C-alpha cells in the first residue's frame, strides 16, 4: 500500500533521514520506536508530505506521491488521517464542527451526512455528550479522542499517529491507547510513532527501530522485543524497559 | 477679557463654532474611510507576507510589500500626505478629501499589515498542519482555520490603530483641509486667542478617543470571556 | 545591504515615474478681481489675504500653512488664484515662470511691528528708532536692496550689525514666520530678509540683543500676547482685528494685496 524507497530529508545542511526503505501492507499496524532525534517523527510526516522529502520516493497505492502538484497532494492527504502529539484541535470551533468541517468543505459529505457521521464517531470515541463543547473545555485525553474522530471523519485508508500520547497526563494515556487498539481491531492500516512499548507489543504487526535517520531493525513484536539483533536496539530496550 | 466674553468671541461670533463642527465631520469622514482602506490593504499585504513566510511562494509580491512597508513606516505621515497631494496627484484634479483618505489609508495599511501578519504568525503552526493534513488547501486552511483565530487576537490592536489614525489625521491641514485641528487654527487666526480654540479641539479629540478606547476595552473583555468558556 | 540598495532604487524609480506623468495644465479663468467670485482661492492662514478672500462672494478659501504651498497648488491647477502681499508675490513670480500677477490690486496696507497691548514704552522706543532709520536713509537702503535684483550686488549687505553697540537692555525676542520672502525667509540656514535687517538696525539703535523665533504666521500674535515674544515682525499688516489684540508701531512700509494666477 505504501512503499518507501531511499527516503532522505535534510533541514538545511543537517540530514535527518538518511535513506529509509520500507513497505507497508494494507491492514498492517506499524509501530515506530527510537530515541528522540532519531528521525521517526520526520519519517511519519514525510508519509503524507507534511515534510517534502529531499530525495527518494513514496508510493501510495501505486502512485508516486513525491512529485505531485499541490492539488493532488491535498487529495492524497484526504485519504491519510494524521493525529498529532498536541492534538491541534481548532479552538474556535465546537467539537462537532471540528469533525464536520473538512468533509463538508471538501464536498465529500452534505452537512446532514457529516453531522450524522460526527455523532456516530463521537459515540465510537466515547464522547457523545461533548458535541457542542469547545476544545478548551475538554481534558487532554478527550481532546486526542476528538482529534482521532476528526481524522476518521474523512474515511481515511491509513492513519498516521505522531506520538499521540506524549503530551498527555499519565492517567489519560490509557483511554487514547484503548481507542487506538479498537481501531486496529477494526482493520485500519496504522503507522504509529510512540514510546508506549506495551502498545507496540500488543497491537503492532511489525515494529521498526529508528536511530540516526536509519531503520536499524524491523521485526514482529515477538522477535523484536525477545530477540533484538542490533546493539543500539538492545541498549535502547534495556533503558526503556526496566 | 473674561471667559464668557472669550467664549462668545471664539465660538459664537460669526458662527465660529461651525469651524469646529464641520472640522470634526471632516476628521471623522477621513478617518472612517482611511480605516477601511487601511484594513483592506493591510489584510492583503499581511496575507501575501505570511504566505511567503509559510510557503516561500509569492516572492515578488512579498518583495513589493516589503518595500511598501519600509517606505510607509520609515517616513512621516505628513511627508506622505504632501507627496500624495503635490507629487503623485500633482497634476490631477482630485478632491483634497480623497487625497487625504488615500494617503492616510495607505499609511494605516502598513501598520495594519504588520499587526495582522503578527496575528497570523502567532497562531501555532500545528493549526496549519492540522488543516492541511485533512486535505484542505492553503486558502481554505487560511480562511477557515488561521484567520478566524488570528483576527480574534489582533482585534484590539486594530482598534487601537484606528484610534491612532484618528489623531494622525490632524496633519490634514497641511494640504489646506479644514479638519478639526485646522478648524481650531482658523478660529485662532481670527480671534488671536490660542487658549479656547486649542483646548476645545483637544477636548473633542480626547472625548472621541476615550469613547473608542472604552469600546475597545469592552471588546477585549468580551473576547477574553469567550476564551474562558 | 544589496537588498536595501535595490529597494531604495526601486522606490526612487517609482517616485520618478509618478512625477514624470504630469498631465496638461488647467487654463487660467481669473482675469480680474471680479472674476474671483465663486473661485477657489488659496491664502496663507491668518493673513490679511485670508480675511479678504473670506469676503469674496461664492469663493472657496483654501487656507494653506505656507504661501509656497498655495503657489504650488495654484501651479498644479488645484486652485484658481492666490491672494498675497505684493512684495512677496513679486519674489514668487520671479522664481516661478508659470504664474503671473493681475495688474489690478487691492487697497494699500501698512506693515508695522506688533507688541503687547500694554507695552507702550517699547512702542515709543521703536517708533523713535524707526523715525531715526527713516531719517538717515537706512530703511530706504534696505528696502531698495530687497526690491531690486540682489544678484548684482550680492556682497553689498544693506545693513551690517554694529558690533560696537552695548547691549545693556537685554534680549528682544522677535517672532516671525520665515516663509514670507522678501521680508523674512531662510537662506543658507539663517533667517534673513527686510524685517531682519530692519530689526537689527532698530536693536542697534536701542541697545537690544535681537533673538529671532520662527513660527507659524497665525501663532505670532498669540506669542506676542502671551509674552513668548517681545515683538512680532513678519510683514504684518495693521488691521482693526489685530489692533484689538496687539499694539502696533508706526508703519515701516506700505504694500497691497495682489492676485496671483496661472499664465
Do residue A74 and residue B152 have CB atoms under 8 angstroms apart? no
Query: Rounded to an integer, what distance in angstroms lies between the CA atom of residue C134 and that of residue C198?
Result: 11
Whether residue C182 is preceded by a cis peptide bond, meaning omega within 30 degrees of 0, is yes
Query: Rounded to an integer, what distance in angstroms lies between the CA atom of residue A129 and that of residue A89?
Result: 17
Where helices occur in chain C by DSSP H, the ranges are 2-20, 48-54, 67-75, 86-95, 120-135, 138-147, 194-206, 220-226, 240-243
| Residue C262, helix vs strand vs coil | strand
Closest-CA distance of chain B to residue A99, Å? 10
Query: B167 touching A, CB under 8 A?
Result: no
Contact, C181 vs C141, CB < 8 A? no
| Predicted local distance difference test score (pLDDT) of residue A15 | 93
Is the pLDDT score of B103 beyond 90? yes
Of the two residues B90 and C40, the one the predictor is more confident about is C40
Tally of CB atoms within 10 A around C224: 28
ipTM value: 0.90
Contact, C45 vs C218, CB < 8 A? yes
| Predicted local distance difference test score (pLDDT) of residue B150 | 93
Contact, B3 vs B184, CB < 8 A? no
Report, as an integer, the average pLDDT of C199-225. Answer: 92
Do residue C72 and residue B86 have CB atoms under 8 angstroms apart? yes
Predicted confidence (pLDDT) per residue in A150-183, tens digit: 999 999 999 999 999 999 999 999 999 999 999 9
**Chain C environment of B193 (Cβ under 8 Å):** 222, 225, 245
Record the cell numbers describing residue B64, joined without a space: 513589493
Determine what percent of chain C is predicted with pLDDT higher than 70: 87
| Predicted local distance difference test score (pLDDT) of residue C14 | 63
Q: Which of A50, A71, A90 sits opposite B133 (nearest CB)?
A: A50
pTM: 0.80
Whether residue A94 is preceded by a cis peptide bond, meaning omega within 30 degrees of 0, is no
Tally of CB atoms within 10 A around B78: 16
Is the pLDDT score of C150 beyond 60? no
Do residue B136 and residue A81 have CB atoms under 8 angstroms apart? no
Residue C42: partners with Cβ closer than 8 Å, 6 or more residues away: B176, C62, C64, C70, C71, C73, C74, C79, C81, C82, C83
| Predicted local distance difference test score (pLDDT) of residue C154 | 56
Among C222, C238, C240, the residue to mutate for chain B (most B Cβ within 10 A): C222
Among C16, C78, C116, C236, the residue to mutate for chain B (most B Cβ within 10 A): C78
Is the pLDDT score of C87 beyond 60? yes
Query: Rounded to an integer, what distance in angstroms lies between the CA atom of residue C256 and that of residue C9?
Result: 47
Q: Which residue of chain B has the CA closest to A107?
A: B136
Query: Rounded to an integer, what distance in angstroms lies between the CA atom of residue B88 and that of residue B207?
Result: 35
Among A90, A95, A164, the residue to mutate for chain B (most B Cβ within 10 A): A90
Report, as an integer, the average pLDDT of A228-234. Answer: 93
Band (pLDDT 50/70/90 cuts) for residue C186 is confident
Radius of gyration (Cα) for chain C, nearest Å? Answer: 21
| Predicted local distance difference test score (pLDDT) of residue C2 | 63
Q: Which of B67, B87, B174 sits opposite C19 (nearest CB)?
A: B87
Record the cell numbers describing residue C212, joined without a space: 529671532
Query: Rounded to an integer, what distance in angstroms lies between the CA atom of residue A40 and that of residue A141?
Result: 23
Do residue B90 and residue C19 have CB atoms under 8 angstroms apart? yes
Predicted confidence (pLDDT) per residue in A21-39, tens digit: 999 999 999 999 999 889 9
Query: Which residue(s) pair with B106 in the sheet?
Result: none
Query: B137 touching A, CB under 8 A?
Result: yes
Q: Which of A70, A84, A101 sits opposite B129 (nearest CB)?
A: A84
| Predicted local distance difference test score (pLDDT) of residue B228 | 56
Do residue C65 and residue B87 have CB atoms under 8 angstroms apart? no
Do residue C23 and residue B86 have CB atoms under 8 angstroms apart? no
| Predicted local distance difference test score (pLDDT) of residue C26 | 79
**Chain C environment of B192 (Cβ under 8 Å):** 221-222, 225, 241-242, 244-246
Report, as an integer, the average pLDDT of B168-192. Answer: 89
Is the pLDDT score of B177 beyond 80? yes
Predicted confidence (pLDDT) per residue in C51-77, tens digit: 999 999 999 999 998 898 999 899 989
Contact, B135 vs B85, CB < 8 A? no
Q: Which residue of chain B has the CA closest to C43?
A: B176
Determine what percent of chain B is predicted with pLDDT higher than 90: 72
**Chain A environment of B134 (Cβ under 8 Å):** 77-78, 101-102, 150-151, 154
Question: Which stretch of A226-240, B48-62, C4-18 has the lowest confidence by average pLDDT?
Answer: C4-18
Is the pLDDT score of A17 beyond 90? yes
Question: Which stretch of A128-132, A213-217, B175-179, C231-235 has the lowest confidence by average pLDDT?
Answer: B175-179
Band (pLDDT 50/70/90 cuts) for residue A48 is very high
Closest-CA distance of chain B to residue C112, Å? 17
Among B10, B64, B90, B179, the residue to mutate for chain C (most C Cβ within 10 A): B90
Query: Rounded to an integer, what distance in angstroms lies between the CA atom of residue C143 and that of residue A52?
Result: 81
Amino acid at each position: 500500500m505504501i512503499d518507501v524507497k531511499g527516503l532522505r530529508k535534510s533541514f538545511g545542511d543537517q540530514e535527518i533521514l538518511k535513506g529509509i526503505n520500507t513497505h507497508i501492507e494494507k491492514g498492517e499496524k506499524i509501530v515506530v520506536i527510537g530515541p528522540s532525534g532519531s528521525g521517526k517523527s520526520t519519517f511519519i510526516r514525510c508519509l503524507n508530505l507534511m515534510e517534502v522529502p529531499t530525495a527518494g520516493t513514496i508510493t501510495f497505492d501505486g502512485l508516486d506521491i513525491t512529485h505531485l502538484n499541490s492539488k493532488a497532494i491535498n487529495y492524497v492527504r484526504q485519504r491519510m488521517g494524521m493525529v498529532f502529539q498536541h492534538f491541534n484541535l481548532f479552538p474556535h470551533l465546537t467539537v462537532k464542527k471540528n469533525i464536520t468541517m473538512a468533509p463538508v468543505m471538501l464536498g465529500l459529505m452534505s452537512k446532514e451526512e457529516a453531522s450524522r457521521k460526527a455523532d456516530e464517531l463521537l459515540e465510537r470515541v466515547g464522547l457523545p455528550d461533548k458535541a457542542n463543547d469547545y476544545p478548551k473545555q475538554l481534558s487532554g485525553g478527550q481532546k486526542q479522542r476528538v482529534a482521532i474522530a476528526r481524522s476518521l471523519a474523512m474515511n481515511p485508508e491509513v492513519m498516521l499517529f505522531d506520538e499521540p500520547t506524549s503530551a498527555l497526563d499519565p492517567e489519560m494515556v490509557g483511554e487514547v491507547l484503548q481507542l487506538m487498539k479498537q481501531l486496529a481491531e477494526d482493520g485500519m492500516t496504522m503507522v504509529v510513532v510512540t514510546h508506549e512499548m506495551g502498545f507496540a507489543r500488543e497491537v503492532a504487526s511489525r515494529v521498526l527501530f529508528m536511530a540516526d535517520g536509519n531503520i536499524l531493525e524491523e521485526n514482529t513484536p515477538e522477535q523484536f522485543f525477545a530477540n533484538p539483533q542490533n546493539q543500539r536496539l538492545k541498549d535502547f530496550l534495556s533503558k526503556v524497559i526496566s | 477679557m473674561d471667559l464668557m466674553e472669550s467664549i462668545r468671541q471664539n465660538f459664537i461670533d460669526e458662527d465660529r463654532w461651525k469651524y469646529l463642527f464641520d472640522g470634526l465631520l471632516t476628521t471623522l469622514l477621513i478617518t472612517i474611510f482611511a480605516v477601511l482602506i487601511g484594513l483592506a490593504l493591510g489584510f492583503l499585504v499581511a496575507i501575501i507576507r505570511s504566505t511567503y513566510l509559510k510557503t516561500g511562494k509569492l516572492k515578488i509580491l512579498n518583495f513589493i510589500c516589503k518595500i511598501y512597508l519600509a517606505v510607509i513606516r520609515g517616513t512621516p505621515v505628513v511627508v506622505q500626505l504632501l507627496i500624495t497631494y503635490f507629487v503623485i496627484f500633482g497634476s490631477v484634479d482630485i478632491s483634497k478629501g480623497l487625497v487625504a483618505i488615500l494617503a492616510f489609508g495607505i499609511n494605516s495599511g502598513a501598520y495594519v499589515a504588520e499587526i495582522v501578519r503578527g496575528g497570523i504568525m502567532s497562531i501555532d503552526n500545528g493549526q496549519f498542519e492540522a488543516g492541511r493534513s485533512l486535505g484542505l488547501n492553503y486558502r481554505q486552511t487560511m480562511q477557515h482555520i488561521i484567520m478566524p483565530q488570528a483576527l480574534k487576537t489582533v482585534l484590539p490592536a486594530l482598534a487601537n490603530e484606528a484610534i491612532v489614525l484618528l489623531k494622525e489625521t490632524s496633519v490634514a491641514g497641511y494640504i489646506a483641509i479644514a479638519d478639526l485641528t485646522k478648524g481650531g487654527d482658523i478660529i485662532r487666526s481670527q480671534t488671536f486667542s490660542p487658549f479656547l480654540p486649542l483646548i476645545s479641539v483637544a477636548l473633542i479629540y480626547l472625548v472621541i478617543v476615550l469613547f473608542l478606547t472604552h469600546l475597545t476595552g469592552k471588546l477585549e473583555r468580551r473576547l477574553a470571556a469567550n476564551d474562558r468558556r | 545591504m544589496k537588498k536595501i540598495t535595490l529597494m531604495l532604487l526601486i522606490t526612487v524609480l517609482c517616485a520618478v515615474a509618478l512625477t514624470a506623468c504630469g498631465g496638461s495644465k488647467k487654463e487660467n479663468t481669473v482675469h480680474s478681481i471680479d472674476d474671483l467670485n465663486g473661485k477657489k482661492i488659496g491664502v496663507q492662514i491668518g493673513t490679511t489675504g485670508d480675511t479678504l478672500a473670506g469676503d469674496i462672494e461664492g469663493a472657496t478659501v483654501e487656507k494653506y500653512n505656507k504661501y509656497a504651498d498655495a503657489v504650488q497648488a495654484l501651479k498644479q491647477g488645484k486652485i484658481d488664484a492666490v491672494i498675497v502681499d505684493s512684495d512677496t508675490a513679486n519674489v514668487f513670480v520671479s522664481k516661478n515662470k508659470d504664474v503671473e500677477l493681475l495688474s489690478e490690486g487691492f487697497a494699500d496696507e501698512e506693515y508695522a511691528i506688533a507688541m503687547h497691548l500694554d507695552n507702550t514704552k517699547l512702542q515709543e522706543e521703536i517708533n523713535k528708532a524707526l523715525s531715526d532709520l527713516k531719517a538717515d536713509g537706512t530703511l530706504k537702503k534696505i528696502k531698495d536692496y530687497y526690491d531690486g535684483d540682489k544678484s548684482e550686488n550680492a556682497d553689498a549687505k544693506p545693513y551690517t550689525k554694529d558690533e560696537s553697540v552695548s547691549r545693556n537692555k537685554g534680549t528682544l525676542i522677535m517672532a516671525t514666520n520665515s516663509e514670507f520672502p522678501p521680508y523674512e525667509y531662510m537662506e543658507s540656514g539663517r533667517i534673513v530678509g527686510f524685517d531682519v535687517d530692519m530689526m537689527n538696525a532698530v536693536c542697534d539703535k536701542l541697545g537690544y540683543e535681537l533673538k529671532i523665533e520662527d513660527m507659524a504666521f497665525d501663532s505670532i500674535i498669540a506669542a506676542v500676547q502671551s509674552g513668548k515674544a517681545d515683538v512680532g515682525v513678519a510683514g504684518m499688516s495693521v488691521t482693526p482685528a489685530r489692533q484689538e489684540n496687539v499694539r502696533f508701531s508706526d508703519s515701516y512700509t506700505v504694500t497691497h494685496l495682489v492676485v496671483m494666477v496661472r499664465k
